[in-house]
Every structure is written in structure tokens, then in C-alpha cells.
Chains A and B, each alone.
Chain A
Amino acid sequence: MASYLDMELLRFTTAGSVDDGKSTLIGRLLYDSKSIFEDQLEAVKVASERMGNKEFNLALLTDGLRAEREQGITIDVAYRYFATPKRKFIIADTPGHIEYTRNMVTGASTADAAIILVDARNGIVEQTRRHSCIASLLQLPDIVVAINKMDLVDFSKRIFEKIQVEYGEVAKKLGLKRVYYIPISARDGDNVVNSSERMPWFKGRPLLELLEELPVGGESRAAAGRFPVQYVIRPQKDEYHDYRAYAGRIAGGNFKVGDHITVLPSGSTSVITGIEEMGVELECAWAPESVAIRLKDDIDISRGDMIVKNDELPCISSEVSLLVCWLNHRPLRTGSKYIIRHTTNELIGIVKEIQFKVDVNTLDEVPGSVEVHMNDIARIRLKTAKPLKYDRYAENRTTGSLVLIDEATFETVGAGMII
């Protein structure tokens, strides 16, 4: 019981097409970790029969909306939850059809790791490369390559090793940091929760065990101290007459009482006199905790400002280069104005130049392309009305990311990673 109250949280995304057995794998993880309840099973049984499935279809556990069930496809990112005694997991389940890029970028933006599914019969295909490119662009620290349908290739060690070598080339080219390989059969459960007796040659851990042990949150804790001010707390109460605290979620590293800080963009400096986490006084707080910080000096600070440590200043510029994934039917255009949301800041930006489009299957530059459509990834130059206080996305996924919002429709149309 005590251990249940003290688990870590791992967010991961799953990439693969319907044919790779992605839904079956997720169904398997939920089913084997006993996260499926009887009434849900009953509903799936009924649905399986109605759709003419003779076998109980694990994939149906994750099909959400009626429109999707009718068409047999997944139209959006869905979030799934399960827990083992060691960890709580959040799966961003992204669909495998045409709008894939935009959905996978969305799912991967909050993930710590990606599971990339490969059909053992087909090996590395174009889609595998695309998924890997996106995982690399989004800077996911851990990649698990699950080589599925091993039952259909006679649990062949040779095939597993061949795919491993092939993927090694992809990983090297993309600069993926940590890659793990597991031969599985999602349908039968081999190497998913338990080690497979049918593949005694595989000495690694089964998938769930690996997921329980992947490191979480190390990158953001190791980053430079960043505190985007979200909200200013000023109680209208007599006993808190002079109280003023700056609320926000730490976006990188840590802050301690006594730290010398700089407030950007004003450049004013002060010292942290208190860190409060919802009524509890702390000596030190780490990313991604939501806290309220009090300062020694009474300086003018508002939402959108950023508190940083004196010796760890971020980049400040009103012109940045970024990789943008386009999310909307209306294409991106040079000279267009967009509302930019970056940390807690909102400002106007203008696209100065579309530098080149990126081939999502190779990450190579596509020469001579200027039109950026939905699901495209491009490198652009953006000028903002006021300077951005940022880090490169590779250094900090929170202070290095932004979204573009259409001025007329207010839709979120682009996702940007600052280079």
C-alpha cells in the first residue's frame, strides 16, 4: 500500500500503424496489468461479436468514438492509463493514418519515451523511419523498438537481429540517444509483461519491465533554472497586506531560497526569500513542480516574465529559427502574422522566411519548397513583436517550444521547436 502511494509517472507514446498491432499491444498492456474492468471487457465482447470478430479483439479496448468504431480507424490522440505496483503510466496513443505526423507530434510533445512498432515480417519500412524522425525531432530521450508478430516469423532470432542492425543505422543517423530492442507478440503476450518461453534466446527484459525502469524527468531537472511567471498572487486580506508571490511551474532545473535571480525582460535582480508549494514552505523546488516564489525586493513582475538564476541566463531575441510542424488545413505563409504562445507569454509573430521543408522520412532538407501544408515539417524564421526569453528546444523542451495560433480562427495551427 505504501509503495502504491509513491510511484513515479512515465508518459510514453506509441507509434505504428493499425497493421503493426499497436492497438493490440496497448490492449495487451492494459489487459495484462489488470487495468481493464469486467464491464469494459463485456462491452468489447459485445462489440467484437457485432463486428463479426470470432476472437475477442483486444484492439477494440482502445477505440473511442463511435465515428472511429464505424470506420475502424483512430482519428485523434487518445490517452490511456495503467499502473503497476512500481509506476503509473500515461500512453499517448496516436493513430497511424494520413494525419499521422500532426498527431504523433502532439502525442510525443509530452512524452518521456516512444515505443516504435515494427512488423517482424516487413522490417524497417518508411513509416518506421518517419516515426523515428519525429521522436528525434521532439527529443524523446528513450526509444523502444518493439519488433512485433514474432509468432509469424517462427520466433526467428536471425530476423530479430537483422532488424536490430538495420534500425541501428537509422538511430545513428538521427542521433537517437538510448534505443532498446524487444521481440514481442502483442497478440499472444510474448515479452510484453512476461518473458517469452518461445524466445529463450532473448536475454533482455520484457517490455513492461523495461518501461518500469526507464529514467524519468532527468533532462528537465538537469536543465538551467527557469521559472515562467504564470500568475501573481496578492491576497486581498488584512493579514497578508504586503504579501506578493509569483506563481508558476518550474520549467527547468531548481530554485532555492537564497538564490540570486534575474527577472526578464526587465533585468531587475533580487533574492528568493521563500518558495511555497501550496501552503507548505520549501527550501528548494525542482522542475516540474508548481510553486509560488517570493522575492526580497518589490519589483514590477507580471505574467509572461521569466525568473532565472543570475549565472544561467537564457537566450533573448526577437528573431528565432524554428522547426515547425504544421497542424492546420490552411497552409503556412511567409509574411503571415500569428499569435505566439511561448511559456506563459503571448505575443504577435510574423513569419519572415520559410527556409526549407524537412523530409519527415529522412530529416533531409527538401530543396526549393515553399508551401507548408498540414503534416509538413519546415524550418522557418520568426520575428516577434517583443523579445522571446528562450532556450534551444534541444536544451529545454518547455522554454524551447511554442505554438502558433491563427489570428482569425484562434485555432492552434503550428507547433514550433526553437533551434
Chain B
Amino acid sequence: MGYGMNHLRELESESVYVIREVAAQFEKPGLLFSGGKDSIVMAWLAQKAFYPASIPFPFVHIDTGHNFEETIQYRDDLIKRMGVRLIVGSVQESIDKGRVAEEHGFNASRNKLQTVTLLDTIEQYRFDALLGGARRDEEKARAKERFFSHRDEFGQWDPKNQRPELWNLFNGKKHLGEHFRIFPLSNWTEMDVWQYILTEGIDLPNLYYTHEREVFERDGIWLAYYPFMKLKEGEKVIKKRVRCRTIGDITCTGLTVSEAYKVEDIVGEIAASRETERGGRRDDKRSEASMEDRKKEGYF
């Protein structure tokens, strides 16, 4: 392979550069941690960026209250191991305070409500930059996202007024009340993330590997069954061996029927896969431009 740099090393170097740039350019950064594989990789990279010092900013988790218990357990273990501070923004609290109204019906989800909780948390802690694990390959509205994505004082994203990003020069200058979303993994694909997890030996929540769980099928997507979810007529809860390809809120995380026991199996499974990982995300399916709309409002 010549003396060139391996693609994973190059992506890692780029992401570490971006993370260090955040620590240098901003006063109150935070790292959005969801417990999903992308934010786990980001946490891993942040640890490397400042080693042997600790990560100089807290993790922020927007908890919908509908998280898999495995995610929360993993999060708490990781926080302890890395020695970072955790700030939790609770969607349940936003509901209790009347900031948002719970959705009703069969497709009720707290996924959209997170945006309000997220923006409230940003205001409360005066974050001026939040690192997120989003990647440009995930969804078409994200293909044009910057590494340093500017948000106005209402937390909104204006796709027509983003700052040009040239070379490796990132402009984090902002006015009072504005903030940035920073995406160090912009240039990673799903495959890169899994290959990196494999080569680095990163420990993941068990949800990513095959396990038996109570599930039901809706519109061709397998969903995990929890008592707070309403079943339609004809929907039956059965036990199946499944795994998560992405992890989000329980109500909108589609499960893959799988026998993947270890990361190698997952890499093979993805190489053979014919659907994107967001293909199982119910939140993206609401309309063709739904991600674009949510991003404008201030979503992750």
C-alpha cells in the first residue's frame, strides 16, 4: 500500500484536529453524547486528542426518557472511566414544565421534542459550541453540512447562509447568543466508523450485537416493544434475534434481524447490506425533506 496514510488514520487525524480546534477557539464547548456508536467514537477521539490530559469539556446527553436501559448503563460507565462531567437535558422535564407537548397516537415519538430540550440546555449552560457525531453520508440534507456549522441566536440553521470552509481553516467567530455545532466525523462513512471500532477495539453497548428481544413489525420495520408503546390492531409482539444498526429513541429505532456476534460480523453485514442505516429510522420517513426541516429548527 505504498507509504501513504491509511484512510482510517487520516480520518482520525482530521477529526482530532477539529476537536482540538474546538477546545482552542471556544469558551464553553460540550460534546453531545447519545450513547450511539458515532458519539462513542467521537468520545474516543476526544480522549485521544488531549491525552494524557482529561477531555476539557463536559458531555451533554439529551435524554428522551425513552432510551434503552443498556444505553444509559453504558453512558454512566464511560463517564466514570473517562473522568468527564455529564450534563443531562431531560425531555421528560421539558414536558412536565409545559415547554413541549407529548405526541399521541401510534407513531408518537419524543424524537422531535428533543430539539426544545437541546436548545434550552444550550441556553442554561451557555454552551458556545456543541460537538456532534453526525456524518455527511447519513442523509442528503447533511451532505452540505460544514465542520463548523453556525447557528443563529434562535439555534437555527440557515442552509443558504453557511460560511465557506476552505483548506483546514475553521472560522468559529460568533456574536453573543450564537453558537456552533461542530461535526468532527463529517467525512466518515458508516463503514469507516465500524472499521475504526474494529481496529481500535472500542467497546460498544450490547444493543449493537445480536440479542433476543420482544419486537413487533410496523410498516416493514422491526421495533422494540416497550409497555409505553401503543400497538395497532394486528401487530403482534414476538421474540426475535435482532441488533441495532443505529441507536436512537426506542420509538424510532428500527432493529435489524441479525446473527452478528462481534464487530467483524457487523462489518461483513454492512458490506453486504442493501439499505442505509437511516432506512430504519422512522423519524426520517415522515417526509422527503424531514431532516432538512428538523435541522433548520435546531435539531442535532
Which A residues have a C-beta under 8 Å from some C-beta of B?
Answer: 1, 4-9, 37-40, 43, 46-47, 62-67, 75-81, 83, 87-88, 90, 102, 105-106, 109-110, 216-217, 221, 230-231, 233-237, 240, 243, 247-249, 276, 278-279, 286, 288-290, 292, 303, 327, 339, 341-342, 344, 397-398, 401-403, 405, 410-412, 415
Segment with Cβ contacts to A, from B87-95, B111-119, B135-143: B135-143
Q: How far is the CA of A64 from the CA of B143 in the complex (A)?
A: 7
Task: Report if B7 contacts A (CB, 8 A).
Answer: yes
Contacts of A38 on B, CB cut-off 8 Å?
274-275, 279
A237-B13 contact in complex given A109-B166, A403-B166, C-beta closer than 8 Å: no
Q: How far is the CA of A230 from the CA of B23 in the complex (A)?
A: 10
Contacts of B159 on A, CB cut-off 8 Å?
65, 67, 76
Contact among A79, A236, A398 for B143, CB-based, below 8 A: A79
What are 10 pairs between A and B in contact, CB < 8 Å?
A5-B199, A7-B6, A65-B292, A230-B20, A237-B52, A247-B50, A248-B17, A303-B24, A341-B169, A341-B171
Contact among B20, B163, B192 for A412, CB-based, below 8 A: B163
CB of A208, distance to nearest CB on chain B (Å): 17
A288 touches B1 (CB 8 A): no
Contact among A6, A39, A327, A403 for B6, CB-based, below 8 A: A6
Q: How far is the CA of A237 from the CA of B13 in the complex (A)?
A: 25
A83-B191 contact in complex given A105-B166, A249-B13, C-beta closer than 8 Å: yes
B17 touches A66 (CB 8 A): no
Contacts of A292 on B, CB cut-off 8 Å?
51
Mostly, the A contact residues are mixed
Contacts of A216 on B, CB cut-off 8 Å?
4
Task: Report if B76 contacts A (CB, 8 A).
Answer: no
Contacts of A286 on B, CB cut-off 8 Å?
5
Task: Report if B96 contacts A (CB, 8 A).
Answer: no
B164 touches A410 (CB 8 A): no
Which B residues have a C-beta under 8 Å from some C-beta of A?
Answer: 1-14, 16-17, 20-21, 23-24, 48-54, 136-137, 140-141, 143-144, 159-160, 162-169, 171, 173-175, 186-187, 189, 191-192, 195, 198-199, 264, 267-268, 271, 273-276, 279, 288-289, 292
CB of A417, distance to nearest CB on chain B (Å): 10
A288-B175 contact in complex given A79-B143, A247-B20, C-beta closer than 8 Å: no
B9 touches A289 (CB 8 A): yes
Contacts of A47 on B, CB cut-off 8 Å?
288
Q: How far is the CA of A4 from the CA of B6 in the complex (A)?
A: 10
Contacts of A288 on B, CB cut-off 8 Å?
5, 10, 13-14
A5 touches B198 (CB 8 A): yes
B186 touches A412 (CB 8 A): no
Q: How far is the CA of A19 from the CA of B297 in the complex (A)?
A: 34
A278 touches B48 (CB 8 A): yes
**Smallest Cβ-Cβ distance to A339: which chain B residue:** B173
Q: How far is the CA of A75 from the CA of B162 in the complex (A)?
A: 11
Q: How far is the CA of A40 from the CA of B20 in the complex (A)?
A: 35
Q: How far is the CA of A262 from the CA of B97 in the complex (A)?
A: 59
Of B168, B191, B288, most A-chain CB atoms within 10 Å:
B168
B275 touches A403 (CB 8 A): no
Contact among A1, A39, A66, A279 for B289, CB-based, below 8 A: A66
A397 touches B167 (CB 8 A): yes
Q: How far is the CA of A38 from the CA of B199 in the complex (A)?
A: 28
B169 touches A231 (CB 8 A): no
B52 touches A235 (CB 8 A): yes
A290 touches B13 (CB 8 A): yes
Extra pairs beyond A9-B11, A110-B167, A412-B164 (16, CB < 8 Å):
A5-B6, A9-B7, A47-B288, A62-B143, A65-B140, A79-B144, A88-B192, A106-B165, A217-B5, A235-B52, A249-B168, A278-B12, A279-B48, A398-B168, A403-B171, A410-B173
B10 touches A415 (CB 8 A): no
Contacts of B191 on A, CB cut-off 8 Å?
4, 83
B187 touches A37 (CB 8 A): no
CB of B3, distance to nearest CB on chain A (Å): 8
- 7 closest A-B pairs (Cβ-Cβ)? A278-B48, A410-B173, A235-B53, A39-B279, A290-B13, A109-B166, A290-B16
Q: How far is the CA of A340 from the CA of B14 in the complex (A)?
A: 22
A81 touches B136 (CB 8 A): yes
**Smallest Cβ-Cβ distance to B195: which chain A residue:** A5
Q: How far is the CA of A279 from the CA of B53 in the complex (A)?
A: 11
Q: How far is the CA of A415 from the CA of B274 in the complex (A)?
A: 41
A9-B5 contact in complex given A1-B267, A76-B144, C-beta closer than 8 Å: yes
Of B23, B169, B175, most A-chain CB atoms within 10 Å:
B169
A279-B13 contact in complex given A79-B143, A230-B21, A403-B169, C-beta closer than 8 Å: no
Q: How far is the CA of A303 from the CA of B21 in the complex (A)?
A: 10
A410-B166 contact in complex given A81-B137, A235-B52, C-beta closer than 8 Å: no
Contacts of A5 on B, CB cut-off 8 Å?
6, 8, 195, 198-199
Contact among A80, A235, A412 for B171, CB-based, below 8 A: A412
A106-B275 contact in complex given A6-B1, A230-B21, C-beta closer than 8 Å: no
A79-B275 contact in complex given A279-B52, A290-B16, C-beta closer than 8 Å: no
CB of A255, distance to nearest CB on chain B (Å): 14
Q: How far is the CA of A327 from the CA of B163 in the complex (A)?
A: 9
A249 touches B186 (CB 8 A): no
B137 touches A405 (CB 8 A): no
**Smallest Cβ-Cβ distance to A278: which chain B residue:** B48
Contact among B24, B49, B140 for A64, CB-based, below 8 A: B140
B166 touches A4 (CB 8 A): no
A1-B8 contact in complex given A65-B159, A233-B50, C-beta closer than 8 Å: no
B7 touches A7 (CB 8 A): yes
Contacts of B198 on A, CB cut-off 8 Å?
5
**Smallest Cβ-Cβ distance to B295: which chain A residue:** A65
Of A38, A109, A412, most B-chain CB atoms within 10 Å:
A412
A90-B276 contact in complex given A217-B5, A288-B5, A405-B173, C-beta closer than 8 Å: no
CB of A316, distance to nearest CB on chain B (Å): 20
Contact among B10, B51, B160, B274 for A278, CB-based, below 8 A: B51
B144 touches A8 (CB 8 A): no
Of A47, A231, A403, most B-chain CB atoms within 10 Å:
A231
B16 touches A278 (CB 8 A): yes
Contacts of A289 on B, CB cut-off 8 Å?
5, 9, 13
